[in-house]
Amino acid sequence: MTLSERAPRAAPQLSTLRSGTAMCQVGEDYGDPAPVGPPPLRPGCKPKCVKCKEGLPVVVIRVGDAFCRDCFKAFYVHKFRAVLGKNRLIFPGEKVLLAWSGGPSSSSMVWQVLEGLSPDSAKRLRFVPGVVYIDEGAACGQSLEDRAKTLVEVKLILQTVGFPWHIVALEEVFSLPPSVLHYFAQEPAGTKGAYKAAVDSYLQQQHAPAQGEEQLSHPGTQDPQSLVGPPIAVHTEAWPPTAAQTEALSRLFNSVRTLTAKEELLQTLRTHLILHVARIHGYSKVMTGDSCTRLAIKLMTSLALGRGAFLAWDTGFSDERHGDVVVVRPMRDHTLKEVAFYNRLFDVPSVFTPAIDTKAPEKASIHRLMEAFMLRLQAQFPSTVSTVYRTSEKLVKAPRDSSAGVSPGPQCLLCMCTLDIDTADSATAFGAQTSHLSQTQPSTSPAEALTAPCCSAEEGRAQGCCQGAGPCGRDDPRAHIIEQLCYSCRVNMKDLPSLDPLPPYILAEAQLRRQRTLVSQEIQEYLIEDSDEEVHTGES
């Protein structure tokens, strides 16, 4: 309560004291409650836009920040362009895949790229875009008829946009090759001078045909691929999926016990599928529509899931964990409120599709609980999301002991982050789990493992616990997969009772990595390691 609200109540209390009556009475009426919201404007005083000081405001982003329609659009577009210009990761003529889910944030991102490539734009974007849409209806329990209706709406919007598009069903993960989990080194990004030289070269190629020949089409026209060569297949559609694939995907998600593990598994499979589409069609960058609000929720959720070591990759502007394909998040400065206002004012189309957590209670998963907590806190304290988001900006990616063109080390089989393997005396949960595995499974040489008897062979059984498959624990597929996962993915795998429903490419890659490890152990004693002097001499 402010002093102005307390002042009118002082006079009745003083008169009550002077008259000799009691100061407080039961059921005493203190008047109407304090008004909620800003005070009413004085007669004849009209609000003005905080930027141009002339137009009538139509949007109030924060208290005191009222924008007119034109100024809000300029403010919104500037945020998008500033993020791309500040980081300078996307070079002119580079192919960029826009990951579009049909939601508000990703739809607004596609519209920003569409307007940035138009000839009327002041500073045109210089990359070649494409759109990918992943149909996740089978994981969410949708029927094939409902999914077909959704795809009709999706195609109408994609045809309006005019970019090359790729529609892929989530069931296609069962036909992915194991190479999708491999790390492919990317070319060195170069310095700021290299980016400026690339821009100058691009501008020279644009203005060169205008001297004597007909000027080539620019990005943003009907043929956006003319910059990089003749157009390839513009549209691809891997739909409808086969009945066997749909049944396999449903069986996989039905076998997962908790909603938290289902959401993490869905995110993992979606990322693998987008990465595969980007690689086979030649895209070197992938844009996602993660907003500021969504990234703040994701940061808190990742902490709760044990992914603190990978926050810089999960919430930063760029994610280079895949090597040749870099994931960028250009919408990370826009809040969900700003996105909703922009889509409403400028008629940005979107498609509503039920998610895997639709109509789920608040405490059904860690994701839902953290989202409800953050949004409720944001309603009471408007600076909550921005504070958490600014904290994520300060996170720095840990340097890896790897040179250019070499894999940064062992990677998680699912999330593909570099494993941080602690020593046995580590106090972290991951270190405790690693030390527990090393104690329960003593290390033996491959020669001893081949001749080691089964643990229950002496008990007179026909077959031991390995059932004729070899020494105990040596051919346990679950143990081999668990040891190739990070801490967070290990916890999620506990909610998957059997590994049989997993897509074949994950199981094949796990087996391949296990075989490489065994071969490396067999030849380790025959390898000659370089001394420290030779290493320093080679580096110099």
pLDDT at 451: 40
The yes-or-no verdict on residue 220 having pLDDT over 60 is: no
Q: Which two tokens stand for residue 321?
A: 């964990």
pLDDT at 539: 52
The model's pLDDT over 347-356, given as tens digits with 9 standing for 90+, comes to: 999 999 999 9
| 8 A C-beta contact, residue 80 and residue 338 | no
pLDDT at 402: 44
The model's pLDDT over 20-37, given as tens digits with 9 standing for 90+, comes to: 444 444 444 545 555 555
Average pLDDT, the chain: 78
The model's pLDDT over 230-267, given as tens digits with 9 standing for 90+, comes to: 334 478 887 788 999 999 999 999 999 999 999 999 99
Q: Among 139, 171, 355, which residue's Cα sits nearest to residue 245?
A: 171
Q: Which two tokens stand for residue 12?
A: 């009745």
pLDDT at 153: 95
The model's pLDDT over 118-149, given as tens digits with 9 standing for 90+, comes to: 888 878 898 999 999 999 999 998 999 999 99
The yes-or-no verdict on residue 299 having pLDDT over 90 is: yes
Query: Average pLDDT for residues 200-229, to the nearest whole number?
Result: 50
pLDDT at 535: 47
Pair type for strands 165-169 and 128-135: parallel
DSSP letter string, 164-203: -EEEEEGGGGGG--GGGGS-BPPPP---HHHHHHHHHHHH
The yes-or-no verdict on residue 537 having pLDDT over 60 is: no
Q: Among 436, 438, 437, 466, which residue's Cα sits nearest to residue 452?
A: 466
Backbone angles phi, psi at 65, to 5 degrees: -110, 85
